[in-house]
């Protein structure tokens, strides 16, 4: 997903802010940013949240992602504001609300579940 | 669902608090309150939120409900704290977090989408 | 959920058929069977599928359930036809389609994810 | 999404087959195809299904997408096999199972809900 230019802007205390910078290549017919780019931002934000929570380098794995699209975002950066709902030993659940920069009404709401690999014995 | 004794405790400003009173009939093997009762509480809370938002008596219809179970609730009332995410003309999306009374860690997180019937011409 | 009278009718080869017998207590205003009873049937069917798949008595745990309501079922038994989508070592994913008995058009479609407890060392 | 090279291979009778051609730019650390590309394929397939079902050129809108990731796909094309679950007047619900070409075990399962715009009066 590197080519999307996704960025983490804040991360800590079970919260995350991430950004998908606008570029014209993201636009689809109708002048809106395609749903899969929105999902990419949400997954990226939640993944950062999980890794920061478990404090380990092993890979976590997305097992479920549920997205509700609320409005069509126009040509602007998309901001994701996320929080951890539960960080367990084997599973983490978090949510992200997506906004079109400068507009207080959300464009999408996403929940995700991540599987955390077992810690390797020392 | 009347026999569950579900109650709305607060409703307004796009927020809702609802309660599923504990009774021993809700318990399943393992001493926990079965998932479907938790879903019933969440749907009930979100439905009240939608009706209060549209301010009309016509029936709204649940079209999608997604629930993440986080912990097994013990033998206590379950409280649902919900909020409207988007109230549109045709669709409403909301979320509810469920708690076992007296415990700050959530037991489940639910999002729901409701279809709003078209307003009848006067 | 015992009082609902849920039954497994067929189980094997990664498939399940389950039934929610009709009774007037399930009906809600509008003459339809409430969504939570439909969810109860789906969860019950998928849970049986998972236990039959892992062949062990330890409890599996529902971690995510996503339901799309398609039509309002009338006053009749509801039949759930389910299948295992993936049975892994730590997680199982399955789906169930719900029908109102005698009607070929489905009333709901459900996917569920279950966490499988680690096998205890012998 | 044009740059992904997504293709519809079969479409008719409420079924769809779509393809995401492999290219090295889709790979993420770990050698797998990133989740958002999988979601893009699923959304593309379901969208084609809905448009073919309603037989009109007006835009449908994705309102909910729920994805369960089952296995990490390796470096190969991804094939989506989808079917319509319900095509209503206002809403359509469909599902897609994703496969890594040449492997019979699915890599992901997706359900989606689409809002259908009202038909314009003639």
State both tokens at C115: 């966490």
Preferred mutation among D60, D61, D62, D63 to probe B, highest tally of B CBs within 10 A: D63
On whether the CB atoms of residues C112 and C80 are closer than 8 A, the answer is no
Cβ burial of C10 (10 Å; 0-12, 13-18, 19+) is exposed
**For the segment B40-86, what is each residue's pLDDT rounded down to a tens digit?**
999 999 999 999 998 876 778 999 999 999 999 989 999 999 999 99
| pLDDT score recorded for residue A85 | 98
Q: In B, what residues contact D, Cβ < 8 A?
A: 63-64, 66, 90-91, 113, 115
Chains B, C: CB pairs < 8 Å: 59
Average pLDDT over residues A91-106: 97
How far is residue A96's CA from residue D72's CA, in Å, rounded to a whole number?
A: 23
3-state helix, strand, coil in chain A (%, to 5): 20, 45, 35
Q: Which residue of C has its CA nearest to B58?
A: C30
Instruction: Return the residue of C nearest to D113 by Cα.
Output: C68
pLDDT higher than threshold 70 for residue C40:
yes
Distance of CA A35 to the CA centre of its chain: 13
Q: What is the mean pLDDT of residues B105-114?
A: 97
Give the pLDDT of chain D (122 residues) as one tens digit per residue: 557 899 999 999 999 999 999 988 788 767 788 898 999 999 999 999 999 998 876 778 999 999 999 999 989 999 999 999 999 999 999 999 999 999 999 999 999 999 998 776 55
Ranking A57-66, B3-12, C25-34, C68-77 by mean pLDDT, the lowest is C25-34
- Provide the shortest C-alpha distance from residue A37 to chain C (in Å): 22
What's the whole-model pTM score?
0.94
Classify residue A30 as exposed, middle or buried by CB count within 10 Å of its CB (0-12, 13-18, 19+). exposed
For residues C46 and C64, the answer to whether their CB atoms sit within 8 Å is no
Residue to test with chain A: of C61, C91, C111, most A Cβ within 10 A: C91
Q: Residue B94: pLDDT above 90?
A: yes
As a whole number, mean pLDDT of residues C98-115 equals 97
Residue C1 pLDDT > 70: no
Report the share of chain A in percent with pLDDT over 70: 93
- Kindly determine whether residue C63 and residue B66, on different chains, have CB atoms separated by under 8 Å: no
ipTM over 0.85: yes
pLDDT in tens, C68-79: 999 999 899 999
User: Given this model, what pLDDT does residue D2 score?
Assistant: 56
Smallest Cβ distance to D66: which of C70, C71, C111?
C111
Q: Above 80 in pLDDT, residue C119?
A: no
Specify whether the CB–CB gap between C81 and C96 falls below 8 A.
yes
pLDDT tops 80 at residue C120: no
CA–CA distance, B52 with C29 (Å, rounded to integer): 18
- Backbone phi, psi, residue D59, to 5°: -75, 130
Per-residue confidence at C3, pLDDT binned at 50, 70, 90?
confident
Q: How far is B62 from chain C (nearest CA, A)?
A: 7
Of D64, D70, D88, which has the smallest distance from its Cβ to C85's Cβ? D70
pLDDT digits (tens, 9 = 90+) for A35-93: 989 999 999 999 999 999 988 766 789 999 999 999 999 899 999 999 999 999 999 99
Using a CB–CB cut-off of 8 Å, the residues of C that contact A are 63-64, 66, 90-91, 113, 115
Average pLDDT rounded to a whole number, residues C41-70: 91
Q: Give the start-end residues of each E strand in D1-122.
A: 7-12, 15-20, 27-28, 32-33, 61-69, 78-87, 91-100, 106-115
């Amino acid at each position: 997903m590197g080519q999307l230019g996704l960025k983490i802007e804040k991360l800590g205390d079970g919260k995350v802010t991430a950004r998908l910078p606008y570029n014209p290549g993201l636009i689809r017919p109708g002048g809106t940013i395609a749903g899969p780019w929105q999902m990419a931002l949400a997954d990226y934000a939640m993944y950062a949240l999980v890794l920061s929570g478990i404090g380990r380098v092993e890979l976590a794995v997305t097992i479920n992602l549920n997205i509700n699209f609320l409005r069509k975002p126009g040509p602007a950066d998309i901001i994701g504001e996320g929080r951890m709902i539960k960080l367990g030993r084997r599973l983490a659940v978090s949510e992200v609300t997506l906004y079109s920069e400068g507009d207080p009404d959300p464009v999408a709401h996403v929940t995700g579940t991540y599987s955390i690999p077992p810690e390797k014995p020392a």
